[in-house]
Structure 1
Amino acid sequence: MSYKLININENLELLNDYPFQRLNNLLKDIQKPKKSSEIIMSIGEPKHNPPAFVKNIINKNYEKWAKYPPTLGMEKLNIASINWLNRRFNLSKKVLNHKENIVQLAGTREGLFNIALALSPSIKNNNKPVMLLPDPFYQVYAGACRISGAEPVFIGSLKKNNFVPSFSNAKKEILKRTSIIYICSPSNPEGASLKLKEWENLILLARKYAAVLIVDECYTDIYFKKRPLGVLEACKKLKTGLDNIVSFHSLSKRSNVPGIRSGFAVGDKYLIENFKKLRHYCAGQQPLPIQEVATALWNEDSHSEKNRKLYTKKFKLAKEIFKKHKNFYLPDGGFYIWLEVGNGEKFTKLLWKEKGIKVMPGAYLSKLDNSKDYIRIALVSNFKETKTALEGIYDVLSKHVK
């Protein structure tokens, strides 16, 4: 039997290689120094220790591995998630209903992808729908757009605009076709957080053109000075409802548990209702012992505060090391440094060859020409390894970039 005779989804051909595949291909023929241990700063996988109580809760709920988890999540987990939202964003207890406004996810990655399949129509104003995406962007946004049959339109997050994309600058004929707008705040990789006026403009834009505003806020609990303003809190300040809005949150970054794949979507109850309908068919849910862990993590804030202090210490170190580099800046939030180095791919190869340090070229996260000048550095390792890496990066920068 010839596999060439089998027709598959044509939209799969529109998917690019994932950034980590491209990075491996870039470096595969380059040997790092034999005496250097590799330091991986290319992937945003938190390496701080999870709270100690996680192991105890999993062991305590061992027998629950034998049960199927409820597709939409345990009631007490939904309640814990909403209680955290109320604390974190100063919301009234009347804003969110745990039965109507929230759905649990096996990590926000699959949720951010699947929601496009649920909420983007096949036709918008007699045309193929459009999704507006920030650029640089989390690759899942573009993948969701293409597999759902929509057309991606990338809106640049430029330095002159403090790395906040100006979606309203899209042509009117594009806006009329827009079904979904994706935004990340604080953003990956730039760490830019939207302010109240920017939230107001974006919410009004989505509602004017009957689009869904999908807000990725997985870095919202990692910040250094001013607490990032979330979209739900912005709605409160603007005295408006949650119409057209779905926000995504995750425990991976906040609680250092990327392996449990636990997050949720929250917002407009009509949109959540329709998202739930899809999830009954396609979504795997977190196992019950994991949901027990997630409940405890959302109910407890002190471990997140300790986590934030560890990142703050590393960013203070980075500021000191790169104080003579004119293009270094401290982000509003998140754990990335978005560093201008001239030629990102070339610098990445030099850094691996000379120091055994792996970073991500900006071009692999973006379609913008400007992004080719950047690298993304994930400050996820311990302080000692981070110090070694940042000093190594600065050394290569000083020798090769003028």
Structure 2
Amino acid sequence: MQLPQRFSDLPEYAFPRLRRLLHGCAPGRPEISMSIGEPRHPVPALVAETIAAHAGEFGRYPPNEGTPELRAAIADWLALRYGVAVDPETEVVSLNGSREGLFNAALALSPESKGGQRPAILMPNPFYQCYGAAALAVGAEPVPVAATPETGFLPDFAALPGALLDRVTLAYVCSPANPQGAVADAAWWRALIALAERHDFRILADECYSEIWRGAPPPGALPAARAAGADPERVLVFQSLSKRSNVPGLRAGFAAGGPRGIAAIRQLRAYGGAPVPLPLQHAATALWRDEAHVVASRALYVEKFELADAILGDLPGYVPPGAGFFLWLPVGDGEAAALALWREMGVRVLPGAYLGRTDATGRNPGAAYIRVALVAEAAEVARGLRAIREVLGDRHFIERAG
């Protein structure tokens, strides 16, 4: 049985593709997994305590849009973190993690045509794969825009032709960026918002890595939109507790933005959404109201950033990540490097090509990179980084891979 034609251009998902690459190859040493961005810091104690206190509510249907208490906690967090006021009644919706919201926002908000033409949806390249699937699901043209060292690892949407921009309905942006760790500053957000105002499209800001940073907290899209006096419907932000609070299995996130956009997402979720169970909503409420565990977790990531700088910092092309928990390492050939690291050291990393798409010039901007996740405890991360250094640094990798 075949997939619908609209999904025929959908590439194999990254992790099954990695398993296929490594299949039949024995690891050279005991495995060190650095491929998946699954936080492994301790789950805050308040999660189990809160779920246990409300376990009886697993016997009730949960509100699809989130309890009033959860939405109020989210609104209070946005005010604390970004200095923006949102109405928890009309401008916030609870999500089953951020991915379902990022996908379903396209279903709810991208029209069948724009100006009588096929709509286009912009996304960075490399990108989180659900962006591309969402574009195909609504019949839009996915437009991956290269995010390379020349563009500061952020997409230069303004360089696209005006005729294309006039067809755009949505633009996905991830800041801090997965996989490169680049951070969009306030000026970058202002420029993108002005572009969206001129060409009348919405910005879907994926900010799930916003609380893992070194130096200064990343600016957000919502305050930039407010400062610019933009249409309140211009920007929707998507957040998750998975990375911030080390609870990827809780499946709790939110979207916030203009009331019309949020109402459309809520209406769609009423038909096909998966509401977060009530005990988990209570846990999410408690997590959004607690910053102590976030500060403690961030300190652990900073320690690992510093390990990466010390171990890999003098390799050609190494760029210290500004935020997030990935390294984006130039290696010449990402697949060959991933295979060599597995065969020689048992280190599992992700080839960058698996997160990117080949563009009109035949170039995949991720092909020369590997993504390395700094999610394990520091000692394991240090072992993995030293193994990477041994393979990539002591001899020229491109010559070895050839």
Please confirm whether the aligned pair reaches a TM-score higher than 0.5, indicating the same fold.
yes
What residue number does 1:14 align with? 9
Using the TM superposition, give the Cα deviation of residue 37 of structure 1 relative to its aligned residue in structure 2, in angstroms: 2.1
**Does 2:236 match 1:246?**
yes
Map 1:115-194 → 2, pairs under 5 A: 115-194=105-184
CA distance in 2: counterparts of 1:14 and 1:286, whole angstroms: 32
8 Å Cα contact 1:232-1:242 kept in structure 2: no
**Does 2:81 match 1:83?**
no
Q: What is the identity, as a one-letter code, of the residue corresponding to 1:227?
A: P
Matched positions, count: 392
Moved more, 384-393 or 242-251: 242-251
Aligned with 1:259: secondary structure? coil
Candidates 302, 317, 321, aligned match of 1:327: 317
CA distance in 2: counterparts of 1:10 and 1:112, whole angstroms: 22
Q: What is the identity, as a one-letter code, of the residue corresponding to 2:388?
A: I
Q: TM-score by structure 1 length?
A: 0.95
8 Å Cα contact 1:244-1:271 kept in structure 2: no
Q: What is the identity, as a one-letter code, of the residue corresponding to 1:155?
A: V
Q: What is the identity, as a one-letter code, of the residue corresponding to 1:338?
A: W
Residues 319-372 of structure 1: CA deviation (Å, up to 9, x unaligned): 000132121121121000001111110000000001111000011111243421
What residue number does 2:369 align with? 374
Residues 240-280 of structure 1: CA deviation (Å, up to 9, x unaligned): 45331110000000000000000000011111111111111
**Does 2:20 match 1:25?**
yes
Q: TM-score by structure 2 length?
A: 0.95
Map 1:335-354 → 2, pairs under 5 A: 335-354=325-344
Aligned with 1:202: secondary structure? helix
What residue number does 1:356 align with? 346
8 Å Cα contact 1:54-1:293 kept in structure 2: yes
CA distance in 1: counterparts of 2:338 and 2:183, whole angstroms: 27
CA distance in 2: counterparts of 1:106 and 1:332, whole angstroms: 27
CA distance in 1: counterparts of 2:198 and 2:71, whole angstroms: 31
**Does 2:308 match 1:318?**
yes
What residue number does 1:395 align with? 390
CA distance in 1: counterparts of 2:213 and 2:231, whole angstroms: 26
Using the TM superposition, give the Cα deviation of residue 301 of structure 1 relative to its aligned residue in structure 2, in angstroms: 0.4
Moved more, 231-240 or 77-86: 231-240
Moved more, 36-45 or 349-358: 36-45
CA distance in 2: counterparts of 1:113 and 1:190, whole angstroms: 22
CA distance in 2: counterparts of 1:353 and 1:16, whole angstroms: 25
Q: What is the identity, as a one-letter code, of the residue corresponding to 2:397?
A: V
CA distance in 2: counterparts of 1:193 and 1:203, whole angstroms: 16
8 Å Cα contact 1:113-1:144 kept in structure 2: yes
Aligned with 1:260: secondary structure? coil
**Does 2:46 match 1:53?**
yes
**Does 2:267 match 1:271?**
no
Residues 6-56 of structure 1: CA deviation (Å, up to 9, x unaligned): xx63223232110101111100021112xx321111110000011111111
Aligned with 2:328: secondary structure? strand
Structure 2 runs not aligned, ≥5 long: 358-362
CA distance in 1: counterparts of 2:370 and 2:221, whole angstroms: 28
What residue number does 1:101 align with? 91
Aligned with 2:74: secondary structure? helix
CA RMSD, 1 decimal: 1.3
What residue number does 2:360 align with? none
Using the TM superposition, give the Cα deviation of residue 205 of structure 1 relative to its aligned residue in structure 2, in angstroms: 1.2
Map 1:201-240 → 2, pairs under 5 A: 201-240=191-230
Structure 1 runs not aligned, ≥5 long: none
